[in-house]
Amino acid sequence: MNFLLNKYFMDLSGGRIKYLIIEEHIKKLIDKNKIEDGEKLPSIRELSQFLKVNNITIVNAYKRLKSEGYAVQKMGSGTYAKRKDMNRNLNREYSRALKKIFSSEIGDYIDFTGETSSGEFFKINLFKDVLNEVLDRDGPRALIYQEPLGYEGLRKSISDIFWKGNINKEDILIISGAQQGIDVVSKSILNTNDSVIVEKPTYSGALSVFRSRRSEIVEIPVEKNGVNVDKLEKILQKNNIKCFYTMSYFQNPSGISYNNDKKSRILRLAEIYDFYIIEDDYLSELIYDSNIKYNSFKSLDHNDRVVYIKSFSKIFLPGIRIGYLIPPKKFKENIQNSKINTDIATSSLMQRALDLYIRKGMWKDYINTLNIKYKDIYIYTEECITEYLKDKIDFIKPGGGLHFYLKIKDNVKIDSINLFRKARDKGVLITPGSLYYKNPLEGKKYFKIGFSHISKENIKKGIQILNKLMII
């Protein structure tokens, strides 16, 4: 710590305000994680002697750090570093911008922030017929009757059609989307200060949930086919890990998918080191690359180590908040009780309608349609990125899903946060990568573009605008 400060403060003369210089540099060290979050700062006397300044200079520097959220004082213990929550501020700015735009003038924007399938491909009249059939069949029960685990018919459909009967319907819990699933699981499994491993980068909603549980979040970078399993084991050897949160297909935001070898190795580690895998099965229905085969962690799980979470909202209709969760037997009762305490039950009418929709084969037809439509748009988006941004970005082809994750090359004179702001002013919306990292600074060279709600014409136009903003 002292060495880091001494490197920059050998000369504090020249009329500059010394405490401002010290404060600014400590802030930079905290932001860059050279001073870790929670690390104790030197005492006032120790630092003043080391830098050859008076005590008041250090007192003023520490006061400013505390007022700006970069330090906390613990009575009788000292002053400790605190990384300012840049994600919270950026999230707030990002959310406010989108709310303002969506509430009035979204038609004027090219929106690359979409993360759900477009309603354009959904045959609403067919679904209306299904709703009417459910109401005619079940009458008031469709609106009133609630089952704590979810509608039995839907749970049986999920068991029969999605799991070929290999998962008992009694082990399936209907939830109101994946976000609720992550929250319910966290409340049931995690205690304060338990350690959770997450992929780096990862879904910002999961980070928020784990932070709310006051969990110790340990990041591990994703590679082409998933996390580095050797590095994962080294973390497991040194830490008592409770859970590993993963998105097994077309990970949000990186777009990577795990191969079977890595899944099997991670499942073995879960048994050896006694941790549980929270599998968020994000968009595995949309596979465009024939080399990618579908096998979830859960389907390979022989030791009951996987908490499986699946949302229908992303792929079906966002307004229909339905998903399901398959817990390990050890946590089954706790997770079920946590869900019931959260909202008692998910919409009975929509559960019954979705059940009938699946039973009639409409779900399968709809997914086939989406694969055909989105594969074409996916290929076109990739061609536009390659043609207009090839000298400015790097990316891994995801082979499925609804987005691309792009890394800005070092020769480009803009980061993703400023690109988001400048693009917004030009009528283009992107998602800055900083939202997906525990330390936002690590995501400043990345951004995500989704193609699920945009015409080909606007995809090309939007990428051309981004190209002009990314100056080499």
Lowest mean pLDDT among 94-103, 138-147, 184-193, 343-352: 94-103
**pLDDT for the residue 400:** 97
In this structure, the answer to whether residues 312 and 414 fall within a common structural domain is no
Quote the CA–CA distance of 180 and 339 in Å, as a whole number: 8
In this structure, the answer to whether residues 371 and 321 fall within a common structural domain is no
Domain end point (choices 360, 385, 408): 360
**pLDDT for the residue 12:** 46
Respond yes or no on whether the N-terminal peptide bond of residue 201 is cis (omega within 30° of 0): yes
User: In percent, how much of the chain has pLDDT > 70?
Assistant: 90
**pLDDT for the residue 471:** 87
Q: Where are the beta strands (DSSP E) in 24-95?
A: 71-74, 78-81
In this structure, the answer to whether residues 378 and 339 fall within a common structural domain is no
Asked if residue 119 is part of any domain, the answer here is no
**DSSP assignment string, 400-429:** BSSEEEEEE-TTSS--HHHHHHHHHHTTEE
Quote the CA–CA distance of 258 and 416 in Å, as a whole number: 26
Residue 101: is its pLDDT beyond 90? Answer: no
Confidence label for 11 from pLDDT (cuts 50, 70 and 90): very low
Confidence label for 85 from pLDDT (cuts 50, 70 and 90): low
Q: Which amino acid is at 229?
A: V
Quote the CA–CA distance of 54 and 48 in Å, as a whole number: 6
CATH of the domain at 268: 3.40.640.10
Helix, coil or strand: residue 394: strand
pLDDT digits (tens, 9 = 90+) for 416-453: 989 999 999 999 999 999 999 988 888 999 999 999 98
Q: pTM of the predicted model, to two decimals?
A: 0.81
**pLDDT for the residue 32:** 73
**pLDDT for the residue 89:** 64
Asked if residue 156 is part of any domain, the answer here is yes
CATH of the domain at 50: 1.10.10.10
Q: Which residue has the higher pLDDT, 166 or 144?
A: 166
In this structure, the answer to whether residues 300 and 187 fall within a common structural domain is yes
Residue 97: is its pLDDT beyond 70? Answer: no
**pLDDT for the residue 87:** 57
In this structure, the answer to whether residues 95 and 135 fall within a common structural domain is no
In this structure, the answer to whether residues 172 and 314 fall within a common structural domain is yes
Residue 272: is its pLDDT beyond 90? Answer: yes
Asked if residue 120 is part of any domain, the answer here is no
Asked if residue 411 is part of any domain, the answer here is yes
In this structure, the answer to whether residues 408 and 352 fall within a common structural domain is no
In this structure, the answer to whether residues 65 and 192 fall within a common structural domain is no
Instruction: State the average pLDDT for the chain.
Output: 89
In this structure, the answer to whether residues 207 and 248 fall within a common structural domain is yes
Per-residue burial over 142-160, b = 16 or more CB atoms within 10 Å of its CB, e = otherwise: beeeeeebbbebbbbbbbe
* Of 292, 448, 456, 447, the residue nearest 374 (C-alpha): 456
Confidence label for 68 from pLDDT (cuts 50, 70 and 90): confident
Residue 285 makes CB contacts below 8 A (sequence gap 6+) with 315, 367, 370, 371
Lowest mean pLDDT among 250-254, 293-297, 390-394, 434-438: 434-438
User: In percent, how much of the chain has pLDDT > 90?
Assistant: 62
Please answer whether residues 434 and 420 qualify as being in contact, where contact means their C-beta atoms are separated by less than 8 angstroms: no
Query: Which residues constitute the domain of residue 60?
Result: 2-81
Helix, coil or strand: residue 124: helix
In this structure, the answer to whether residues 76 and 94 fall within a common structural domain is no
Domain end point (choices 360, 379, 411): 360
Domain end point (choices 360, 383, 400): 360
**pLDDT for the residue 13:** 43
Confidence label for 14 from pLDDT (cuts 50, 70 and 90): very low
Lowest mean pLDDT among 134-143, 232-241, 340-349, 455-464: 340-349
